[in-house]
Structure 1
């Protein structure tokens, strides 16, 4: 079995930065939309010497379906025991919420959405994790726009001020519209 912490550290050591997205699972249309957005900015991240990675606590058998639904073929870390999420929390890099989701077969809980952009030297360029609440559908929606996050990271890398002072979020209608238009 692989070591998710070592996988993440290896990605960090092999690039100038890592743009990581934690997602809930193949069944979550908000997660699929988010990974599509990551795929859309992937070339920009690569041009800056970075790598993208998706991280999930969902079992590995669902990863091919996620890749097929999103077009994302980059690195993925499957972490059903949430050891990477715990390591990132202990290091104060990002506080990934873990929900008790045994009914969905997440034996050790389900990692909730999060984003971490970190440089090779450990400098955090962006960190966000959802706090699951009724108003955000228990962690499904109200995620910051990945395009805008990258715009601000890119500006920071170039010694410039943030392009976006706040981030827009996609609502239910946007994600469901995307889901139905792709069929």
Structure 2
């Protein structure tokens, strides 16, 4: 098991270096605006005016870990909203695929289409998919990314979670290049209590 963990770290280390760019707990969160699945313009300032924000990045509906994570967020959403926080999700997927995620997960929170990768880049989670990062599944991931993102840029986000307090500062970061590892609703809820 230890050998597997070391091998995984070596495989994913280029991804970690590329995407982990320096956002830290205590930093000011970059502001953003984008359109959600309902065609509504969502601005981070407006969300923060209502309470703390849980900002989640996912790769695509094609990713079973992403579908499970978004479904779990929806299933246990009350654990977040009862603490005065709002969930906003960001993906590079085109709106037609976001709609599929909404149908599969039942998501009632905003899922934003990051068409130009600006939010992903500002939050230091964007990486360019490469054969050295995921050698065994590169071709399939590339095919999925190109189809769902609608371009040939092969950009994906590390599936990260940020908790941003009303004052616009980052209070919690879950960032792991291992795409199977996600912040649980329980962990997010516990962090919100600590705010």
Kindly report which structure 2 residues correspond to 1:18-57, keeping only aligned pairs within 5 A, or say none.
18-57=53-92
- Alignment correspondent of 2:34: 4
3-state SS, counterpart of residue 4 of structure 1:
strand
Determine if the alignment matches structure 1 residue 124 to structure 2 residue 170: yes
Counterpart-to-counterpart distance in 2, 1:81 and 1:50: 27
Partners of 1:96 and 1:112 within 8 A in 2: yes
Structure 1: unaligned runs, 5 residues or longer:
89-94, 158-183
Task: Count matched residues.
Answer: 142
| TM-score normalised by L of structure 2 | 0.64
Counterpart-to-counterpart distance in 2, 1:4 and 1:98: 20
Structure 2: unaligned runs, 5 residues or longer:
1-31, 36-40, 130-140
The 3 A distance-change label for structure 1 pair 149 and 45 is closer
Q: Which has the higher contact order (CA 8 A, sep 6+)?
A: 2
Structure 1: which 4+ aligned runs deviate by more than 6 Å? none
RMSD over equivalenced CA pairs, Å: 2.4
Kindly report which structure 2 residues correspond to 1:94-173, keeping only aligned pairs within 5 A, or say none.
95-100=124-129, 103=143, 104-105=145-146, 106=149, 107=151, 108=153, 109-131=155-177, 136=178, 139=179, 141-154=180-193, 156-157=194-195
Q: CA deviation at 1:145?
A: 2.2
3-state SS, counterpart of residue 117 of structure 1:
strand
Q: For each residue in 1:2-41, what CA deviation from the matched residue of structure 2 results, as whole angstroms up to 9, or x when unmatched?
A: 9439834244333211111111111111001101121133
| TM-score normalised by L of structure 1 | 0.68
Counterpart-to-counterpart distance in 1, 2:42 and 2:126: 20
